[in-house]
Amino acid sequence: MENLRAIGADGTNVNTGINNGVIRLLELHLRKPLQRLICLFHFNELPLRHLLLQLDGCATGPNAFTGEIGKKLLHCHDMNIVNFEVRENGLPCQIQPDVRKELSKDQEYLYEICEAIKCGSVSSTLEKREPGKLVHSRWLTAANRILRLYVSTASPSDELLVLTDYILLVYAPIWFRIKLNPQSYQGARHV
């Protein structure tokens, strides 16, 4: 323990809380500060979570929301694709094949639907794919479902447009920049 200088964790309050977080309690026990290496993927999810709750209402359970958008997210993958407005995304340039092989199905879905919205066309393969399970602990799949809902909504609400643009221009680009450069010294650039 004498040589411990850094500790990694996700950003939940139980880990990072200023008074009773596990890391703070460990610092007190060791009588020295520690460098905190907090998961940037989890850090990236917090603004999306708060934005959805602010625009659409609170959660009503582990996979349900009270607002119009949230209610549609459960079954968005059953909706037909409509003619939707093309929207820009801020994704990094093409992801190299070796990195692409390492993407989870949910990450690959996010990349493909962002590109589809930028091009204005959803492939039949992507249309048939499940955007991932809707659970409050998995905001990546919530992002996937919001984008899937966008391409299935003929007249999207202002709230859905704000969420869509946030995902395309902030959430997804940061996600893939973290994936491409996961080193801890890159953290400040991602934030």
DSSP assigned state of 168: I
Nearest 10 degrees: CA dihedral of 56, 61, 63, 69? -20
The DSSP-derived string for 16-47 is H-TTT-HHHHHHHHHTS--EEEE-HHHHHHHH
Q: What is the pLDDT of residue 57?
A: 82
* Degrees, nearest 5: CA angle 153-154-158: 70
Q: Which amino acid is at 7?
A: I
pLDDT the model gives residue 166: 98
DSSP state of 80: P
Taking 80 as the threshold, does the pLDDT of residue 140 lie above it? Answer: yes
- pLDDT band at residue 100 under the 50/70/90 scheme: confident
| pLDDT (mean) for 60-71 | 79
Provide the pLDDT confidence category of residue 62 given band limits of 50, 70 and 90.
low
This prediction has a pTM of 0.87
60 pLDDT higher than 80:
no
